[in-house]
Amino acid sequence: MAAKGNSADRNAPELNRVLSFYRNSTILLTGGTGFLGKVLLEKILRCLGVRKVFLAVRIKDGRKPAERLQELLKDALFDRLRQDATVEQLLERVEPVEISLEAGDGLGLGMDETTETRLLQQTDVIFNVLASVKFNESIKNAVDTNVGGTRRVLQLARRMQRLKAVVHVSTLYSNCDRTHIRERVYDDTLLRPEAVLNLSKLLSADEMDGLQHCLLGSLPNTYTYSKKCAESLIQQHFSDLPVGIFRPPIVLSTYREPIAGWTDNLNGPAGLCLWTVKGYVRVIHGNGRKKANLVPVDYCVNALLVAGFDVADRSMARDPAQDSRSGWETVQPVPVYNYLYDRPNLTWGRYMGTVSMGFDGWIKRLCWPHSYTIVPNRALFRVLSLCCHTVPAWLLDFVRQLRGKRPLYRRMAAKTNRFLETMAYFGLREWQIANENVVRLRTLLTPTEASLLEFDLSTVDWDEYFQAYIPGIRRYYLGELPAARDRTNPAQPLAWNRRIQFLCRLLHRLMWVLICLKLGHRLYVRRNLFSILIA
């Protein structure tokens, strides 16, 4: 069983308990080559003073883990870290460990015996970030990765001698079929996780696809379903470990650390926003007044690290007698952290509107509100999508065929419409999220720790954030060079951007007043002029 650690002085006053917990520790990180995992790895190396990080990596496109790690450390995300250390020096603190989720017995991570022995002897903390995040992933692949991979990691954790904490990264939407989501595991799937894993092992991908609608129930996609199954698996079979479940919402690019606006993907709202900026999307299926549940990835990582300390602290305070009881129902529930704050939560309308803060010209900001529309009605969305997406795509492809080129835009429009339909589930709904555990996490930080590990979303200046949002996507994902004006003056005054945005909104209101006057609604305008201007 995992080691509990020394709890003799846990109630004694101690400065910087979170930083002290991680200092000189050894961490196993799975999923460290993904979006969230990269930022987590950078933060650990830069701020926590750990002894070593074992980075679990799979072979991809013929590249060995060592090659993938060297390429990873050359990313712009690690520029700040490389100012104090070379890649070779960083490699002394990060050790790539080759793993496989296709081991025949379904029990191990497929690593060599020597490496596994060192992991079992040295690991103090595990962050399990490994996941398939595709909404349209096949049910078999989603289950094998998100449920089977979690089981393999926790079976390894059970054999570790120094283990203090395991944090499994799930998603806030693992129970999105509910309107109220508490910080607990909901064990209400049709089949138990072990049964689902056995089905996936016995059946082919096509046979599993045939059962998908039965397994998912009211959940919208295989991602949310497999994450829910993984949570149930942890509660049912691994609650004796010092383990916690961290549920982030929709994670966006970095706010400030280590650089503003960094991202490496176009998943979710980032892709929607960029394609709208480029003119590929004109109609969005959603409700602009619904809360969007968005968080910067650097804040998310900070909350994740503090949750790791809290899991270890809780396990030291746990009654050892409970661990010897039989049956998962009798043990202490696994702690869950719903990382979301209600008060500073953006709406979808504000998210799309504030994106213009990152544009490099006032004309673009002026035109932005007229370049898209958010439509909550499904029938109206399909009509407008036909007019604004499908028909133009057919016309452009017709021109391409006349010029002897292969059709391109119809396929792009079809893919865009499928993406918009998928995102609509989250854009049309709103949830009541309990976050007592996350609020309590913030009270554990001293002022020194808060300066390094701040995660309270009320401290985010969203206007400042969106100044670097679109420029960050273009620079770090698309590889575009900054505009000439940005190179000479990279820090545009935020107050000037706010003035431009205010003037644009005022001009739109005045245009609306003029239209009403021209159409003869003068009495309506006189009675409602104030409300029109401030709406």
Q: At 91, phi and psi to the nearest 5?
A: -65, -20
pTM of the predicted model as reported, rounded to 2 decimal places: 0.86
Q: Please give the distance of CA 258 from its chain centroid, rounded to a whole number.
A: 17
What are the domain boundaries of the chain?
17-265+292-345+430-477, 493-527
Whether the upstream peptide bond of residue 65 has omega within 30° of 0, thus cis, is: no
pLDDT in the model for residue 505: 57
Tell me which residue of 362, 364, 341 sits closest to 277, measured CA to CA: 364
- Contact present, 17 and 309 (Cβ < 8 Å): yes
User: CA nearest 417: which of 392, 390, 395, 387?
Assistant: 390
User: What residues does 493 pair with on adjacent strands?
Assistant: none
Instruction: Give CA–CA dist 307/444, Å, rounded.
Output: 10
- The CA distance from 140 to 199, in Å, is 9
State the Cα–Cα distance between residues 514 and 516, nearest whole angstrom: 5
Cβ proximity of 337 and 245 under 8 Å: yes
Sign of CA dihedral 101, 104, 106, 112: negative
Tally helices (H) and strands (E) across the chain: 26, 13
CB 469 within 8 A of CB 355: yes
3-state secondary structure of 386: helix
Tell me the C-alpha distance between 532 and 535, whole Å: 5
Instruction: Determine the 3-state secondary structure of 175 from DSSP.
Output: helix
Contacts with 295 (C-beta within 8 Å, 6 or more apart), sequence order:
248, 249, 250, 251, 252, 339, 340, 457
Backbone φ, ψ for residue 347 (5° rounding): -95, 165
CATH code, residues 17-265+292-345+430-477: 3.40.50.720
Q: How far apart are CA 237 and CA 171, in angstroms?
A: 20
What gap in Å lies between CA 474 and CA 83, rounded to an integer?
24
What's the pLDDT score for residue 485? 45
Q: What is the structure's pLDDT at 4?
A: 46
For 465, counting Cβ atoms within 10 Å of its Cβ (0-12 exposed, 13-18 middle, 19+ buried), the class is buried
Taking only the tens of pLDDT, the chain with its 535 residues reads 444 444 444 443 458 999 999 999 999 999 999 999 999 999 999 999 999 999 999 988 888 999 999 999 999 999 999 998 888 888 889 999 999 888 666 677 888 899 999 999 999 999 999 999 988 899 999 999 999 999 999 999 999 999 999 999 999 999 999 999 999 999 888 899 999 999 999 999 999 999 999 999 999 999 999 999 999 999 999 999 999 999 999 999 999 999 999 999 988 899 888 888 888 888 999 999 999 999 999 999 999 999 999 999 998 877 555 555 444 344 568 999 999 998 778 999 999 988 877 776 666 666 666 678 899 999 999 999 999 899 989 998 999 999 899 988 899 899 989 999 999 999 999 999 999 999 999 999 999 999 999 999 999 999 999 999 999 999 999 888 765 444 434 444 555 455 545 555 566 556 655 665 555 555 555 555 555 444 4
What are the backbone angles phi and psi of residue 258, rounded to the nearest 5°? -75, -20
- Show Cβ contacts of residue 456 under 8 Å, excluding neighbours closer than 6 positions: 341, 442
In sequence order, the 6+-apart residues with CB closer than 8 A to the CB of 246 are 167, 168, 169, 170, 303, 304, 307, 337, 339
Kindly report the number of other CB atoms within 10 A of residue 246's CB atom.
28
Secondary structure element (H or E) that encloses residue 208, with its range: helix 205-216
